[in-house]
A and B are shown apart, each in its own frame.
Chain A
């Protein structure tokens, strides 16, 4: 993948912009290398299965449109996460406007089927753990969920997170601390309620 001639799809339109062209990967490479990351992040940030396709697609459309702005200031992952974050926020806001109650229960029924077909691929135990984690994450405020996903699931560093959010490092530290507490409390409630145990 890496040895192919680079800028195909995306870069023709941004040649003249001076930022070192060599440091910007081609759009198709970004897609192939970071699709899984974007996909995971979108799910964990609270997008229901039936809407994941749409949201991930939108993230990459934004990436394509804004690739010229990626000047290597941050890591590509950080930049991508920042975009995913904004697209997910928009998506959730739209859903809430449509139905003020639980956002994810009101997905477009037309797209739900696609997600269901995924089943057999997810090894059950991990998939179940992932489902529980998403359930717990859903109880967190947006800003807590975001830092928690980045730190605990994607294992990004606090400076990286600060970069993706456009916040300062201290803010992220304190938000992360609060997010962990909230997550732990929600996990404890879930355990108490469902008798769930991990090993």
Chain B
């Protein structure tokens, strides 16, 4: 202890509580962490699910997928879905949405509860496989059109960030852009990413926006000016990276 003088001690005492984060810091980083967990884990699950996709409940990735779905759905405010078709299927569809090219038939997209209006809270606890709808009878639903509901209260993550409303808006835009891309309308996707940039310049999904934008530009034949290489350099681990490499010929 003798190495430090009294003045330095006083400085340290004062400094000790001077680096605290604000509640905003806490919530902002939390959104980012949860977004990344949802996307990244979901992508991993999707990648390993392989071709036996429609049989989501039987994949070995189920446990991982379940946790991905919980994280994603809770924090993205999309608690709607997971339940009906088995959480694995939901996570799988999410994973596909981000990481894989579209396949039109025989693939389970997220099952939408038929009666789910946009304000219906998701009362059913997730992961209740007993109530699962058989996967192959579920309707194919565009992820961009999913109804949005409050997170399930039993999730253990009761304190949703105050700005979850805007996060939902962000997510809706990104998903719509993704849907436009998959529908072969990159111009529309580009417009949607522009709108996202305008409304959420520092949004939690800025990285996804950047990735979508690059995908759109590459789809329009502007690979060289898309910034794909820079994106891949700084976001090598992004779940969008494989798609970008493919779409932009890198």
Contacts and interface: CB of A to CB of B under 8 A. Distances in A.
Interface of A: 4-6, 8-13, 15, 26, 28-29, 31-32, 35-36, 39-40, 43-44, 53, 56-57, 60-61, 64, 113-114, 117-118, 121-123, 125-134, 152-153, 155, 177, 180-181, 183-184, 187-188, 191, 197-199
Contacts of B243: none
26 contacts: A4-B156, A5-B154, A8-B70, A31-B33, A32-B159, A39-B29, A40-B20, A53-B32, A57-B29, A57-B32, A118-B22, A118-B24, A121-B22, A122-B20, A125-B14, A126-B15, A126-B18, A129-B11, A129-B18, A132-B11, A177-B3, A180-B1, A181-B3, A183-B8, A184-B3, A198-B10
Given A9-B37, A130-B19, A184-B5, A53 B11 contact: no
- Going nearest first, the 10 A-B pairs with the smallest beta carbon separation are A130-B18, A180-B3, A126-B18, A129-B14, A4-B156, A129-B15, A133-B15, A12-B67, A39-B21, A198-B10
Contacts of B158: 4
Interface of B: prevailing SS? helix
B157 interface: yes
B8 A57 contact: no
Nearest to A155: B16
Interface residues of B, number: 43
A10 B17 CA distance: 30
A173 B21 CA distance: 30
Contacts of B21: 35-36, 39-40
B234 to A, nearest CB: 8
A5 B29 contact: no
Interface of B: 1, 3-5, 7-8, 10-12, 14-22, 24-26, 28-30, 32-33, 36-37, 40, 63-64, 66-67, 70-71, 74, 154-159, 202
A191 B7 contact: yes
A114 B154 CA distance: 32
Contacts of B1: 180
Contact of B16 (A29, A31, A113, A153): A153
A130 B17 CA distance: 8
Max chain A Cβ within 10 angstroms of own Cβ: one of B4, B16, B24, B64: B16
A9 B70 contact: yes
Contacts of B16: 153, 155
A139 B63 CA distance: 46
Contacts of A28: 156-157
B11 A133 contact: yes
Contacts of A155: 16
A8 B8 contact: no
Contacts of A29: 156
B204 to A, nearest CB: 10
Contacts of A60: 29, 33
Given A8-B74, A130-B18, A198-B11, 17 more contacts: A6-B156, A9-B71, A10-B67, A11-B67, A13-B67, A32-B26, A53-B29, A57-B32, A126-B17, A129-B14, A129-B15, A132-B11, A152-B4, A152-B12, A153-B12, A153-B16, A199-B10
Contacts of B17: 126
A22 B83 CA distance: 26
A96 B160 CA distance: 37
B94 to A, nearest CB: 15
